[in-house]
């Protein structure tokens, strides 16, 4: 396979090469690549040591750590609940199932600002759930627990939606074989079904994590935004921008971009590995 022998574009009779390639590359450049390039350029002109100095500040490190920690916890919750939900929605029949299935997508459809104020109203000390929690001495809104709930909400559909089609495709013969060989139902679930779901579940987990790390709208209302304690990384960028501190904003933005790319890479690696193992994704 020599690279030089391959033409950039294979000759074909299909029309519209120039037009479709032109629109694709022009829009991709103007909307996505040039803006991201501007961010990286800003970081470069600010200097690597300065970028690292900003990212190393106590308040910035605390916010990045908080965003990542709570996103991880929320994605883990969604991993377990999402797989359970997918199983129930595919395998069982019960009244209201279709509504439940459609409701899984609500966090995708509901604007994040709406989710933010709704969750705050629910979990604030005078809210429906917040007052219940207060009776047992718990405070949810304006604490890290509130941020966790908001991140669970926005990441909820990912695992269910990646796992559902895999469960639909499982051939029941496999389960029958396992049962015939004397495995209990729980044993079959743990050792036969779960391994089949693992790649899709992990992909959903990673997507949910990536979404949560960058989430802003649903979190800022319920977070309380106390520096070092309940301040998420995207909010720090907004604060820096409001003070016209573009260099610092760019530094934090680059740190978040690096984290996002690392996670994107992880998602792709999971998919490549599982494609090799399972023959499909």
Query: Does 137 contact other proteins by CB under 8 A?
Result: no
With b for 16 or more beta-carbon neighbours within 10 A and e for fewer, the 92-107 pattern comes to eeeeeeeeebeebeeb
- Among the listed residues 65, 176, 190, 228, the single contact to other proteins using CB under 8 A: 176
Contact 156, 82 (CB under 8 A): yes
Query: Does 119 contact other proteins by CB under 8 A?
Result: yes
- Among the listed residues 70, 89, 198, 223, the single contact to other proteins using CB under 8 A: 89
Query: Does 84 contact other proteins by CB under 8 A?
Result: yes
- Among the listed residues 64, 115, 151, 201, the single contact to other proteins using CB under 8 A: 115
Least separation in angstroms between residue 49's CB and other proteins is: 20
User: Under rule CB under 8 A, how many of the chain's residues touch other proteins?
Assistant: 102
What part of residues 223-242 is at the interface with other proteins (CB under 8 A)? Answer: 234-235, 237-238, 241
Residue 49 or 186 with smaller CB distance to other proteins = 186
Query: Does 85 contact other proteins by CB under 8 A?
Result: yes
Least separation in angstroms between residue 103's CB and other proteins is: 5
The rounded distance, in Å, linking the Cα atoms of 52 and 61 is: 11
In 3D space, the residue among 216, 218, 217 whose CA is nearest the CA of residue 233 turns out to be 216
Which two tokens mark 35? Answer: 């803006």
The rounded distance, in Å, linking the Cα atoms of 222 and 117 is: 7
Burial bucket for residue 13 (CB in 10 Å: 0-12, 13-18, 19+): exposed
Query: Does 54 contact other proteins by CB under 8 A?
Result: no
């Amino acid at each position: 396979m020599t690279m030089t022998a391959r033409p950039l574009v294979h000759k074909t009779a299909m029309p519209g090469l120039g037009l479709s390639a032109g629109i694709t590359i022009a829009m991709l450049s103007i909307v996505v690549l040039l803006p991201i390039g501007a961010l990286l350029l800003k970081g470069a002109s600010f200097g690597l040591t300065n970028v690292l100095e900003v990212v190393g500040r106590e308040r910035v490190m605390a916010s990045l750590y908080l965003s990542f920690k709570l996103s991880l916890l929320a994605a883990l919750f969604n991993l377990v609940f999402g797989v359970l939900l997918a199983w129930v929605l595919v395998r069982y029949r019960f009244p209201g199932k279709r509504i439940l299935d459609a409701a899984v997508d609500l966090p995708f459809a509901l604007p994040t600002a709406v989710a933010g104020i709704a969750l705050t109203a629910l979990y604030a000390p005078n809210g429906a759930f917040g007052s219940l929690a207060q009776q047992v001495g718990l405070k949810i809104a304006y604490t890290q627990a509130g941020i966790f709930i908001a991140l669970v909400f926005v990441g909820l559909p990912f695992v269910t939606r990646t796992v559902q089609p895999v469960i639909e495709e499982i051939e029941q013969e496999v389960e029958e074989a396992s049962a015939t060989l004397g495995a209990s139902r729980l044993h079959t679930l743990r050792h036969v079904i779960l391994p089949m779901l693992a790649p899709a579940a992990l992909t959903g987990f990673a997507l949910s994590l990536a979404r949560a790390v960058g989430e802003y709208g649903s979190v800022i209302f319920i977070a309380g935004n106390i520096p070092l304690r309940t301040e998420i990384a995207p909010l720090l960028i907004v604060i820096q921008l409001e003070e016209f501190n573009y260099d610092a904003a760019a530094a934090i933005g680059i740190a978040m971009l690096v984290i996002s790319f690392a996670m994107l890479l992880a998602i792709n690696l999971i998919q490549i590995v599982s494609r090799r193992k399972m023959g499909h994704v």
